[in-house]
Amino acid sequence: MIIRDALPADAAAIAEIYRPIVERTTISFELDAPDAAEIRSRIRRVTRIYPWLVAADSGAVIGYAYATQHRERAAYASSLDVSVYVDGAVRGRGVGSSLYATLFRLLEQAGTFHRAFAGIALPNDASVALHTKHGFEPVGTYREVGRKFGRWIDVAWWQRELRNGGACGEARTSRMLRC
C-alpha cells in the first residue's frame, strides 16, 4: 500500500468508497452521494490549500483522507477539519491510521496550521478509536444537531494540536501551505 496525493483521476474511486457511507449510514450528513465530477471539483478546490491523500493498493484506491476549512471567518484560518474514509472491504487493517499519520505529518510540516478538529456522528467506535490513537481529545457533543433517515444524530467534536502550528506567523491568506 502507498499513500500519495489524490489526483482528479481518483475521483471515481473516491466517489464509490463514499457512496455507501452517504446512502446507508449517518456517518456523513450528506443526503445525496456526490458523483465523480463533483468529487473531482472538490479535490481541485480543497488541494489549493490543504492536503488530500489516497491510500492505493496495487493501483486501486482503498481509502482517502483530507483537511478542509474549519470555519469561514479569517481568524479561524489556522484551524482545519479532517475527514477519513476507508473502503468497507479493508477496514481494521491499518489503512485509516496510515492515511492519518501522513496527513498530520504534512499538516505539521506546513507550519501554519495550529489545531485540527473532527466531528464524529455518533455512534462510531472505529472513528473514535482512530482519532484517539492520533492524539485527538474530546471537546464536547452537539446533541441532535443533524437529522437523517428520520432520526436525530449527535456529533462529538474532537481536537488535536498540530506541532509547529503558528511557526509561520498569523495565517492571513488562503495560500498557507506556501508560507
- Give the interface segment with ligand COA, choosing from 41-49, 94-102, 104-112, 162-170 (CB under 6 A): 94-102
Q: Is 24 in the site for ligand COA (CB under 6 A)?
A: no
Q: How far apart are CA 123 and CA 153, in angstroms?
A: 9
User: At 28, phi and psi to the nearest 5?
Assistant: -100, 140
Helix (H) or strand (E) holding 157: strand 151-161
Joined grid coordinates for residue 35:
458523483
Decide whether 8 or 94 has the Cβ nearer to ligand COA: 94
- Give the interface segment with ligand COA, choosing from 39-47, 121-129, 139-147, 149-157 (CB under 6 A): 121-129
Q: Is 92 in the site for ligand COA (CB under 6 A)?
A: yes
For the chain, what is the total number of helices (H) and then of strands (E)? 4, 7
Provide the 3-class DSSP secondary structure of residue 134.
Answer: coil
Q: Give the nearest residue (CB) to ligand COA.
A: 96
Residue ranges binding ligand COA (CB under 6 A): 21, 27, 84-86, 91-97, 118, 120, 124-127, 129-130, 133
